[in-house]
Amino acid sequence: MKYITHGSGGAPEVMQLVDGPKPAPQPGQVLIEVHYAGVNRPDVAQRRGSYPPPPDASPILGLEVAGRIVAIASDVTTWKVGDEVCALTHGGGYAEYCVAHAAHCLPTPKGLSLLQAAALPENFFTVWTNVFDRARLKAGETFLVHGGSSGIGLTAIQLAKAFGARVFTTVGNAEKAAACMAHGADVVINYKEKEFDKEIQTIVGKQGLDVILDMVGGTYIAKNIRLLALDGRLVQIAFLEGSKSPDFDMTPVMIKRLTITGSTLRPRSVADKAAMAAALREQVWPLLELGKVKPAIHATFPIAEAAKAHALMETSQHIGKIMLAIRP
């Protein structure tokens, strides 16, 4: 098969399309003929050499795919050859064939293309486990997601609105603000024009926010803490600005009974990810099929142009997902 190698790591240009052996499904796995794969920030970090894959993961980049099952392990009974699926993968997505755990596959939602389906797993698994499992967001609560125009952000906005929350988000320009509003955000703040914490404080007053999903870190950490309501929950999923806060104070955590949590998706167990997939199939797939929630795709590149896809992601100019076409 053909796949993208990134050698020993470096700039986007280190990625090359090469030939290599096709993987075979191990117990509990299926082999997917990949049509599309999603590009995600962990892929960029792995390519740079700052995010090594777990020992049991494929060294090939790519955490989500959609395509057609072409082989199954003898113990798999939930899928059959020919089924169209999207899947959260343990690496290996930037390739013509990729193995995935059967329990981490989901059917292509009715009405969605394989391209759209491939844009779902990484973002939807991430948002579901962090916002709804860990942070327990529920109807009537207030929710802030930073980086609202990212794939994670637009997914979080839509799901939070679908489940009855009031949604706040931060962005860096007017175009991104418009996209967030179009996807259901109630309040969008351009952090380059206004201090988001002061703006939100003006709107919510002493009541504060119930849940915050943050991927920035750094100076945002203390601001998030100050914005949270009594029994508020902060979920940290990345640190684009760094993992240390210059003015962090634990006092509000104690006084307001706050919960500070976080997670990374890739190291989670097979069973954990299977539970997420089952919850998504029950709670979210009907919303996708009804058109109440949808993936936002910014651009699609041929697999041979994976370097251009990574270069675009590093500019942070995209709105929604960046995709690779393997078999368009």
Please say if the pLDDT value at position 246 is more than 90: no
pLDDT tens for 44-103 read: 999 999 999 999 999 999 999 999 999 999 999 999 999 999 999 999 999 999 999 999
| DSSP character at residue 95 | B
Residue 210 scores a pLDDT above 90: yes
pLDDT of residue 188: 98
Over range 124-140, report the average pLDDT. 98
Which pLDDT does position 105 carry in this prediction? Answer: 98
Domains, the chain, ordered by start: 2-120+266-325 (3.90.180.10), 124-262 (3.40.50.720)
Confidence of residue 313 (pLDDT cuts 50, 70, 90): very high
Region 150-170: mean pLDDT is 98
pLDDT over 90 (residue 273): yes
What is the pLDDT averaged over residues 266-289?
97
Rg, C-alpha atoms of the chain: 20
- Cβ pair 157, 185 in contact under 8 A: yes
pLDDT at 248 over 90: no
Cα–Cα distance for residue pair 310/129, rounded to 1 Å = 26
Write a three-state SS string for 127-188: HHHHHHHHCCCCCCCEEEECCCCEHHHHHHHHHHHHCCCEEEEEECCHHHHHHHHHCCCCEE
pLDDT at 166: 98
Predicted local distance difference test score (pLDDT) of residue 328: 79
What's the pLDDT score for residue 247? 82
E strand or H helix at 313, and its extent? Answer: helix 306-315
Average per-residue pLDDT for the chain: 97
